[in-house]
Amino acid sequence: MNTLKTGMLLAALTALFMALGFTLGGRAGMVIALMIAVGMNLFTYWNADKIVLKMHHAREVDAQTAPEFYGIVRELADRAKLPMPRVYIVDQPQPNAFATGRDPNHAAVAATTGLLNILNRDEIAGVMAHELGHVRNRDTLIMTMVATIAGAISMLANFGLFFRGGDGRSPGWAGLLAVFVAPFAAMIVQMAISRTREYGADRAGAEISGKPLALASALEKLQRGAARTRNPVAERIPATSQLYIIPGLSRGGGDNWFSTHPDTGNRIAELQRIAGAMPQVESAAPPTSVARAEASVPVTRSPRRASALDPLKRG
């Protein structure tokens, strides 16, 4: 159902873009708009991961520079039967994470130092399993396409007021209406697709990690932490808010048309439902051990409870 819904919304966004081009410039305008969209998609297809990582000043880590964090991702990738993605750490206090890349063979996952400092090992595993869920579901490519088309609609609308058809006349009231309505409609569709993919990644993350309650616990902590801490990248480029596991910009709660993510409480409730349906699921109380940030940030480790289950022990 998520795939069908995403496909329908993506088709609606594409149709909206082509309709705007036709309204402003007839068939010629539609063709020009389509060429622009194709060019932008080709560029972002090959370069989106580089752009996203560069704007976050992310630094790549490996088994030597961040053995625990890298090891968590490696074990999860093995469980998900995915190629090992590149692993990055972003020196940012807001606790968050994201995935990028055009396909599983060119994927990258990143977590902020803020996230690594406040979550325990199982919770970090739950979050990174969520991000690998995006990779497995190819959400990184879908969301890149969506952002590109939505951006093209906004760009075309910005020029719409100055656009004149082949007869030298302005597009008229219908064109003016399209100029104002199309970007708003594109934003609604873009956010709807983003919300759909987050629920799918939560389910995939629960399956990959085997610990849906750890992911639920992480979401609760991340929601509180993100609400208290600024995200300079999201503030500078609001469109990046949809990248993260928790919105980079706080816009209030609830599943509504104007949110890039589902309500965190609803996501937690869904993960609890998934946990109840899973055999031998972990205890509702997550372990108390804290993963080292391994990011040149001091971290205090709490003692591990002897009864805590940890399927992600390092070899």
The SS3 call for residue 180 is helix
> Would you call 288 exposed, middle or buried from its count of C-beta atoms within 10 A (0-12, 13-18, 19+)?
middle
Q: Is the pLDDT assigned to residue 181 strictly greater than 90?
A: no
Annotated binding-site residue? 130: yes
Residues known to be catalytic: 131
Mean pLDDT of 233-256: 73
Neighbours of 60 (CB within 10 A): 13
Report pLDDT for 236. 83
* Angle CA 224–112–77, to nearest 5: 110
Report pLDDT for 95. 96
Q: Is the pLDDT assigned to residue 138 strictly greater than 60?
A: yes
Report pLDDT for 34. 73
Those residues whose C-beta lies under 8 Å from the C-beta of residue 197, and which sit 6 or more positions away, are 2, 6, 134, 137, 139, 142, 143
**Pairing assessment for the beta strands 86-90 and 59-61 based on DSSP bridges:** antiparallel
Q: How far is CA 5 from CA 151, 192, 277, in A?
A: 21, 9, 24
Report pLDDT for 131. 97
Those residues whose C-beta lies under 8 Å from the C-beta of residue 189, and which sit 6 or more positions away, are 9, 12, 13, 16, 146, 150
Q: How far is CA 143 from CA 41, 80, 82, 138, in A?
A: 11, 21, 20, 9
Range among 58-72, 194-208, 224-238 with highest mean pLDDT value: 58-72
Annotated binding-site residue? 198: yes
Cα–chain-centroid distance for residue 70?
Answer: 20
Mean pLDDT of 246-257: 62
The torsion angles phi and psi of 82, rounded to 5 degrees, stand at: -115, 150
Q: Is the pLDDT assigned to residue 126 strictly greater than 50?
A: yes
The torsion angles phi and psi of 100, rounded to 5 degrees, stand at: -150, 175
Residue 61 forms beta bridges with which residues?
87
Give per-residue pLDDT as tens, 9-50.
667 767 777 777 777 677 877 777 777 767 777 787 788 789
Residue 8 one-letter amino acid = M
Task: Give the pLDDT band of residue 61 (cuts 50, 70, 90).
Answer: very high
Give per-residue pLDDT as tens, 258-297.
566 888 999 999 999 999 988 765 544 444 334 444 544 4
Give per-residue pLDDT as tens, 77-101.
999 999 999 999 999 999 999 999 9
Annotated binding-site residue? 57: no
Task: Give the pLDDT band of residue 136 (cuts 50, 70, 90).
Answer: very high
Average pLDDT taken over every residue of the chain: 77
Residue scoring higher pLDDT (137 or 18): 137
